Structure 1
Amino acid sequence: MSATLMVQDQFLLHNWHVVAHSQDLQPGTVLQKRLLGEDIVLWHNGDQALAWQDFCPHRGARLSLGWIEKDNLVCPYHGLAFNTDGKCVLVPATPDQPPPARACIQTYHIQERHGMLWVCLGTPQNDIPAIPDWEDPSFRKILCGPYHFNSSPLRVIENLIDPTHFAFVHKGIFADSRRPEVTHYDLESHPDGISFKFGIWELDPASGDPSAPMFFATYQYRLCQPLLGYFQRRGDNDSCMNLFFMVTPVDEEECVLSFWVVENFLYKIPDSAFVAMENQIMSQDKVIVESQRPKRLPLDLQAEVHLPSDRYSIAYRKWLKQQGVTFGSI
């Protein structure tokens, strides 16, 4: 008896996806996660983190309900023990007999980077991208999330790359409807993603005064994978903020967003206050994104009305279609 990987989206299958924060998987712990509609188990034997299909080949029980013993993961149903290669090495009911050769687990690629655990269910086609200024000691790093959305992961990414909603959904926090216009610059599509640059009018989040004068800021975006990317906001005096966003596709209409903020000029805002501000921004996005219908992103450009200011989301949808992305789309 076996479980068959049901992921049909070959492009996302061979991408890296964040599944947990590194601190969540301490040595000796077992976690249950879901990625691309597949149940997976994460466990740490003290030397390494491992990611497997959450399925015992004996009677189909969840291995994530089990425990770690002598560097093996033990199934909670009949005590079968599996080594780090995913092979059964012990059947307690018949300890003197070798386990069946078929008693093995589907294993997945796993890496730890940027304080996160990344899993690829297929064969990795690309490296996990670097975060700009990550190694610069003058930059502060703040991890925000996880934020859970009952919506397509593609809808969440499209919301992140849409600057025209800032002045309305996030009015008074970092943008305002007094100056909703967006100045568009470059837009380029590449085989491995899209990049673009725009300018918007902003409030100073450190001032706490939504009626204060606004100033113009430019943003450079780069989508490295369908569910992974970053933006850089550069200002005067070498001030810079990078926001590296990672959307985990749990199911076609469920996902989790986390992001790193790497910046060098907002030290007036303590880490806790910064996270609280981002939590407020994400709660505003969550209400809107979860209200969208259909929940899955339409890749047919005739399915929704498009405006001239939608140039980045249109480019994103075209690129997804070119790459054959189907998970979370219609």
Structure 2
Amino acid sequence: MDWPADSSGEGAPLSTSLPGAQQLALLRRLNEVAQAAGRTVPLATADRVLAAGVSGRGRGELALVGAAEAGRFGAPPVDPAALSDDELLRVAAGLIADDVAAHDGDPEPDRSLLERARQLRRPWVASFLVLGVQWRAEPARAGLVAHGHRPGGRRPTAYLLADDLGTVLAHAWAARAFDQGGPTWSDFVRNSASFGHLPPRADLPRMARSAAHKYGAGRVVVVLDPSVLATLLGVRSLQGPPQLGAHAIDLVRRVGEPLGLLVDAARRPELLRSTLAARLDGHGGPLPSVPPRWQSWLSSQAERTHHELAAAGYPVLGDLDLLLAGSLPSEPVVPVDAEVLDLALGLLLDPIDPPKETTA
């Protein structure tokens, strides 16, 4: 408590409300990361952590063992040191969501004259569309627009970006993480395999049929070699998505849930891309891979995809056999809570939207 100015020794009492176990455990881990880097946790950041709520599914805020008695209902008090990384991530995700939401309403950056000129449509460029998994197709379209190659026009050619099915599934999960949050990678694969078919976001034959219905089968082109498409469209290369690994995508998935309570749902994907994805680009390890137990399902779906696209007679840029999934690694790449938490701690120590504060 603060010592009173009159030296009477009678100041305001300490608050009787103690932080939850998850918050204390997260602050301890954050202090460890800061100390290892020769830094200290800013006071305002520590206050934010201690006052934070708990997001996601699971137990609510947990009381401290020794500071509260176990009741007849609810979770019993716990030792913060015994909490899992997943419990700490539920607090961290809410804090990072607050930082992302702070950018809602940021003005668009001013574009230079050269950038504005590049975005003018080139009338000599043939009409086209770029389709495929949203995670790949959206940045490809954005890059083309930036160079004056606007999709659309009369009787366009629809280019369907494809890849081996394991990668397509990983991209579909990433797109869902940004749009909805959604299930973990393991649940995403298990649910798809249990249903016996691909999720709509990864169903390339379905996308091709839809495009063929709108534009004609002769105007649907399957793209396995993006460099060939780039040459056809007159650009050096197609713009790709941020290079986010399994752990980074899982953090985005976790942050997306509380963020959905703070901003309009339509704004959530773009906010996550412009803030969190930009900070995590190049981090989080490789893309997730399908666990070996689902190898036979993945292979059968890849063969079905290959057969349906080949039977439809769509033109192909590249080798259609690249659709077929190869052998899976014996040790699958999956998000690991400890790795995801490390990324989250870095974002708390160096926030996306740094608060103006003094350090301890």
Fold-level similarity (TM above 0.5): no
TM-score normalised to the size of structure 1?
Answer: 0.26
More helix by share: 2
Q: Which has the larger radius of gyration?
A: 2
Higher relative contact order (CA 8 A, sep 6+): 2
